[in-house]
Structure 1
Amino acid sequence: MNAMRWPTEVASADELDLSHEYILYVEGVSVSFDGFKALNDLNLYVKAGELRCLIGANGAGKTTLMDVITGKTQPDGGNVFFGQNINLLARSEADIAQLGIGRKFQKPTVFEAHSVLDNLEMSLKANKGIWYNLFAKLSAVQRDKIDEVLSIIGLQQQRHMLAGALSHGQKQWLEIGMLLVSDPLLLLIDEPVAGMTGQETERTAELLTGLAGERTVIVVEHDMEFVRSIARTVTVLHQGSVLAQGTMDQVQSNRYVIEVYLGEEA
């Protein structure tokens, strides 16, 4: 595909152009580390409101792709745009977070010595800067937002519990809530159900499918049954490129996926 001509900069997410339905454009992106191509001319397009699952063996490029989208890693070449008009490669990690792109890593990073409510309040205030965080009181609108998020993540009854006393699954939900208080447009979620019980996995599937629509959600996951339960579209990465894309049934029956990802002969 020929490279597109993109505008170079835009002021804020308020100007996000979603007129072509897509919220994320990753085109021709390559990343090399000491001669190893972590991403190899990768193209990925994600529609606004979509729940997309990324799968692939270790080293396929999933984490590197998220690093590029969030500004942690600069690619050797290619374009990454948020909507039609926001060039993410021209933005810092902090700027990208402010634009409405939130990322949740595999291991929960909650403040365990603080309550669930405190964790959400600190996350909300963190978007406003240090001075605000130290001295400002939350408005009624902000408190309503926290109450809404507590309802979404199912931790209303645990609001005053120390985060360290939560189950593993509840900590994962709290961290998702810590992203949600800032109203992100795009959520990048890394292996959300690793280590969860069956019941927690089911609840997480409900949570993520409920988030899609108003928000766009990209999930990296190794649990294929979980992927099947939530995904309409699955993208398979292999050696830094897109190997296949489609429904779970289409992907699992793809001869190339069977050969290289499932390790079987077609």
Structure 2
Amino acid sequence: MIGGRFLGQNRRSAAPRLDLSHNIILYLEGISVSFDGFKALNDLNLYIEAGELRCIIGPNGAGKTTMMDVITGKTRPDTGSAWFGQTVDLLSLSEPEIATAGIGRKFQKPTIFPNHTTFENLELAMAGDKAVWKVLFARISSEQADRIDSVLRTIGLSDKRNVLAGSLSHGQKQWLEIGMLLMQSPELLLVDEPVAGMTPQETERTAELLVSLSGTHSVVVVEHDMAFVRSIARTVTVLHQGSVLAEGSMDQVQNDPKVIEVYLGD
């Protein structure tokens, strides 16, 4: 696996069956995590619906990154449970197994292969059990090429397919990494501060992209840019001191006295 996320994962054969019969794709219940006496998460309860676009906001130290670390298996909680659908116990799986199960995570800093083209980056990220060198030198099928073309259109980089990824703009690199996750057909996407450092035009395009992915995928966005959150949010969850402080529409949380006091009013 290169970059910790993309290669050597055969999702088609290894992924446990996802049960969305209750329309909830992610359950976090009673999750607590402590680091050297500091409680990063404190009895956190969070539920994400299938196909939902959820925005998570909160001040630094609120527990946003630790929450994503728990979901992806990087951090094990002291207490609580984490379920992917009705039947997949995330706390019993390793990080690669969680990725294989259908959870993709995009970090703030894009992880791409700068010396390969945009097309080749998506090819490398393609789900399957091929070894790296086989991927690099094998001929891809017409179906696989069509899949890559479809993702290129989704992320708005069709005209950059033969451009080295290292020469892309900051925003384009972010979109490419989202495309690399999409190549594995994840059910749930975790996206960390996607518009940090972007131009206004890139920020607008990123909003359109994330909104377009919801429905087909469940998308959880952690972001500090309140204007961006307002442009995409249906439901906003506010974390504070490792717990959910408020949840609702952007208008509801912005007008919540508790939220104003600890976050938005700063």
TM-score for the superposition, normalised by structure 2: 0.92
For residue 126 of structure 2, give the secondary structure of its aligned residue in structure 1.
helix
Q: 2:62 aligns with which of 60, 77, 100?
A: 60
For residue 28 of structure 2, give the secondary structure of its aligned residue in structure 1.
strand
Q: How far apart, CA to CA, are the structure 2 residues paired with 1:88 and 1:51?
A: 21
Q: How far apart, CA to CA, are the structure 2 residues paired with 1:108 and 1:231?
A: 23
State whether structure 2 residue 117 is matched by structure 1 residue 115.
yes
Residue 245 of structure 1 aligns with which residue? 247
* 4+ aligned runs moved over 6 Å, structure 1: none
What is the Cα deviation at residue 53 of structure 1?
Answer: 0.2
Residue 137 of structure 1 aligns with which residue? 139
Structure 2's unaligned 5+ residue stretches are 1-12
Q: How far apart, CA to CA, are the structure 2 residues paired with 1:172 and 1:134?
A: 22
State whether structure 2 residue 215 is matched by structure 1 residue 233.
no
Q: How far apart, CA to CA, are the structure 2 residues paired with 1:225 and 1:84?
A: 34
Structure 1's unaligned 5+ residue stretches are 1-10
Q: How far apart, CA to CA, are the structure 1 residues paired with 2:153 and 2:122?
A: 12
Letter in 2 for 1:63: T
For residue 175 of structure 2, give the secondary structure of its aligned residue in structure 1.
helix
Residue 90 of structure 2 aligns with which residue? 88
For residue 261 of structure 1, give the secondary structure of its aligned residue in structure 2.
helix
Letter in 1 for 2:94: S
Q: How far apart, CA to CA, are the structure 1 residues paired with 2:130 and 2:161?
A: 24
Residue 186 of structure 1 aligns with which residue? 188
Matches within 5 A, 1:41-80: 41-80=43-82
Letter in 2 for 1:94: P
Superposed CA RMSD in Å reads 1.4
Cα deviation, 1:9-30, whole Å, max 9, x if unaligned, reads xx96452110100000000000
Residue 128 of structure 1 aligns with which residue? 129
Residue 7 of structure 1 aligns with which residue? none
What is the Cα deviation at residue 236 of structure 1?
Answer: 0.2
Residue 211 of structure 1 aligns with which residue? 213
For residue 15 of structure 1, give the secondary structure of its aligned residue in structure 2.
coil
Cα deviation, 1:102-152, whole Å, max 9, x if unaligned, reads 000001111111110111111115x42426536643222111110000000
Describe the shift of the 1:105–1:81 C-alpha distance in structure 2 as closer, same or farther (beyond 3 A): same
Residue 262 of structure 1 aligns with which residue? 264
For residue 39 of structure 2, give the secondary structure of its aligned residue in structure 1.
strand
Q: How far apart, CA to CA, are the structure 2 residues paired with 1:163 and 1:18?
A: 36
Q: How far apart, CA to CA, are the structure 2 residues paired with 1:129 and 1:221?
A: 35
